[in-house]
Amino acid sequence: MKKRIIYILICCLLGLPTWGQQSNKTVQKAAQKRAFTVVIDAGHGGHDPGAMGKLTQEKKLNLEVSQRLEQQIKLHYPDVKVVMTRKNDVFLTLQQRADIVNKNNADLFICIHTNAAENRNVTGTETFVLGVDKLQSNLDVAMRENAVMLLEDDYQTTYEGFDPNSVDSYIMFELMQDQYIDQSLNFATLVQQQFTDIGRSNRGVRQAGFWVLHKSACPSVLIEMGFISNSNEEKYLASDKGKEDITNSIFQAFSQYKSAYDRKHGIVIAAKSEGKPSAAKADKPVKAKADKPVAAEADKPSAAKSDKPVAAKADKPVAAVEQAELRPVYKVQIFSTLKPVPAGDATFRGLKNCQYSKDGKYYKYTYGEDTDYQTILDIQQELKTKFKDCFIVAFLGDKQIPVKEALQMK
């Protein structure tokens, strides 16, 4: 331990500017690479209107809410890059949407859609993540949203033989592993929770095979804001208040997700970024009249069996989030000393949010925080240029546990 302190002291005495700058650049580059980008996708557009209502069309509602969400995020998170797949009434293929996500190295992909069902009593919100579910109603939604492929001349080539109308095509989603599933479920759960908080009927977090989610390499969700096929809900969705409520709900979920992301990545957040003004708005009692029939109708036995709210499904991701809280967290221990190092010390240059804990006589300094071991491994690799002996440590709650044990818990 003394060796390390002497090493740091020698470095400080010698100045070692080149060494310091280089490692700084590396760490900054790593931070830049992790700069948060969200892609908002207003479903449908142009000659694809999506689901049709009596008052309006899905493509219009999707775009209006997407634009409001874009404004909210830009206002409260000036550092976040917000990319829109479309800003006006144009047609985009599913593949083009996914390409935008991947070209921008997005950290989060939010698709905004409006639901429709043959049974006009059905109402409520649901948020999908990629996956397989035996529920016919989930497959129906995926089929309807994927069907836009059929508007393309050569869709079979573009979509690798995938037929949006064939149940067999959806088997592929059973075989694949989605490495972003945990984050996608977390965000989806936050969205549904926000909808519940404003009194919307919660049809839960669901899984289905959406091509646009499948082809996007980041945590991705598809939000169905409500049913355009129900006249009360259509009125609500088309109203200014409805659009504002929905936007606020998604924004609050974004805010919570982003805070968790920042904590994990050791990013210091400006107070403004907490999104307080909108929180106040979203917390207002918004028991709109449109919400009452929503709850009532969702419980009606007349609702088709396939459209029943899936309580079990809705509970699963919530449990997943709770489990996530108990999951081991990894950090990189960069060094430990007998005397605390002042926060502004050159040692921490380029590292935005180092933490320390006192263990016996020693102050242990760590950087980064993530439940994903691979992410911390990457951070450790970057840090090695500056702290060549840094190593990974694991915590369960406040308790440090052996990394090996943490890895076995997964």
Residues that bind Zn ion (CB under 5 A): 43, 50, 113, 145
Q: Looking at this protein, which amino acid is placed at residue 129?
A: V
Residue 311 C-beta: closest distance to Zn ion, Å: 24
Nearer to Zn ion, 65 or 282 (CB): 65
CB 52 within 8 A of CB 231: no
Tokens for 76, please give them.
């409260």
CB 393 within 8 A of CB 333: yes
Residue 112 C-beta: closest distance to Zn ion, Å: 9
**What span, in angstroms and rounded, lies between the C-alpha atoms of 6 and 25?**
24
Nearest-CB residue to Zn ion? Answer: 113
> Could you count the other beta carbons within 10 Å of the beta carbon of residue 339?
9
CB 51 within 8 A of CB 228: yes
Report the alpha-carbon angle 58-59-62, nearest 5. Answer: 85
Residue 118 C-beta: closest distance to Zn ion, Å: 16
Which residue in the block uniquely carries the two structure tokens 């102050």?
363
Nearer to Zn ion, 50 or 219 (CB): 50
Residue 145 C-beta: closest distance to Zn ion, Å: 5
Nearer to Zn ion, 144 or 384 (CB): 144
Nearer to Zn ion, 223 or 267 (CB): 223
Residue 259 C-beta: closest distance to Zn ion, Å: 29
Nearer to Zn ion, 44 or 68 (CB): 44
| C-alpha to C-alpha distances, 166 to 135, 143, 279, nearest whole angstrom | 15, 8, 43
Residue 305 C-beta: closest distance to Zn ion, Å: 23
**What span, in angstroms and rounded, lies between the C-alpha atoms of 406 and 402?**
6
Residue 49 C-beta: closest distance to Zn ion, Å: 10
> 387 Cβ partners below 8 Å, 6+ apart?
334, 335
Tokens for 145, please give them.
């949203």
> Could you count the other beta carbons within 10 Å of the beta carbon of residue 149?
19
Nearer to Zn ion, 43 or 164 (CB): 43
Strand order of the sheet with strand 202-208?
Answer: 81-84, 37-42, 108-115, 220-227, 125-130, 202-208
Residue 88 C-beta: closest distance to Zn ion, Å: 17
Nearer to Zn ion, 97 or 264 (CB): 97
> Could you count the other beta carbons within 10 Å of the beta carbon of residue 375?
16
The burial of 335, by beta-carbon neighbours within 10 Å (0-12 exposed, 13-18 middle, 19 or more buried), is given as buried
Q: Looking at this protein, which amino acid is placed at residue 87?
A: K
Nearer to Zn ion, 114 or 347 (CB): 114
> 25 Cβ partners below 8 Å, 6+ apart?
none
**What span, in angstroms and rounded, lies between the C-alpha atoms of 27 and 25?**
5
> 58 Cβ partners below 8 Å, 6+ apart?
43, 44, 49, 50, 51, 52, 113, 114, 116, 228
Residue 141 C-beta: closest distance to Zn ion, Å: 8
Nearer to Zn ion, 127 or 380 (CB): 127
Residue 239 C-beta: closest distance to Zn ion, Å: 20
Nearer to Zn ion, 145 or 297 (CB): 145
